[in-house]
A and B are shown apart, each in its own frame.
Chain A
Amino acid sequence: GESVGLHLPTLSVQEGDNSIINCAYSNSASDYFIWYKQESGKGPQFIIDIRSNMDKRQGQRVTVLLNKTVKHLSLQIAATQPGDSAVYFCAENSPVMYSGGGADGLTFGKGTHLIIQP
């Protein structure tokens, strides 16, 4: 079935370096993508989103890139800090999966664990 996936389960980076977390999606009908951060014992926390009519969007220290040609999404974190250590999930909307007239559910990837080395 169509799903969102990730290239690497674990990513280890040096403090201060830039981090790049990748995500591949296969649902060509998806037009909205979100990155979430989840710290241990907590619920996912919204980081940044991007619509399919955009290629790039920047936030505070984070940038999301969308390549629709190869169905690839990435999250770049600048100057990685210890507080960035978490599991990062990409998610896509699922307009063809859920009916009901409301906001559609999200389909999540399996997550990448970002580890910060001192």
Chain B
Amino acid sequence: DAGITQSPRHKVTETGTPVTLRCHQTENHRYMYWYRQDPGHGLRLIHYSYGVKDTDKGEVSDGYSVSRSKTEDFLLTLESATSSQTSVYFCAISVDSSTYEQYFGPGTRLTVT
């Protein structure tokens, strides 16, 4: 599993509340990613990071922000959760930028009511 953990694994929250999801890795990989997975859409990239304090937007970044203050942690924040952000969120790491090979965490199921 490439030493990736995500927390929480499940969360139910109300519309308008802030939510932060955490991805933690134990192997000091440089590249980390946040994806969301929805029926009919597959996985879509939200944000990614290529180093401490270095992040960039992905395909579906609106409504999300990220932070990476330490190599091992990549945080995804929904500043004001909406029902459209109900999804399963996956964190991934890349072990080698030349191959683009990514390994995924177990996921966080988020429900916004």
Residues of A whose CB lies within 8 Å of any CB of B are 32, 34, 41-46, 49, 89, 91, 93, 97-111
Pairwise interchain contact A102-B97, C-beta atoms closer than 8 A: yes
Question: Cβ of B50 < 8 Å from any Cβ of A?
Answer: yes
Partner of B106, one of A43, A91, A108: A43
Which chain B residues border A34 with CB–CB below 8 Å? 100-102
Tell me the dominant secondary structure on chain B's binding face.
strand
Stretch at the interface among B11-19, B35-43, B76-84: B35-43
Tell me the dominant secondary structure on chain A's binding face.
loop
16 contacts between A and B (CB under 8 A): A43-B104, A44-B43, A44-B90, A89-B43, A91-B43, A98-B45, A98-B56, A101-B50, A102-B49, A103-B94, A103-B97, A105-B48, A106-B45, A108-B42, A109-B42, A110-B42
Pairwise interchain contact A102-B48, C-beta atoms closer than 8 A: yes
Query: How many residues from B make CB contacts under 8 Å with A?
Result: 32
Pairwise interchain contact A100-B99, C-beta atoms closer than 8 A: no
Inter-chain CA distance A104–B101, complex, in Å, is 10
Task: Check A42/B107 contact, CB under 8 A, given A98-B48, A102-B30, A105-B33.
Answer: yes
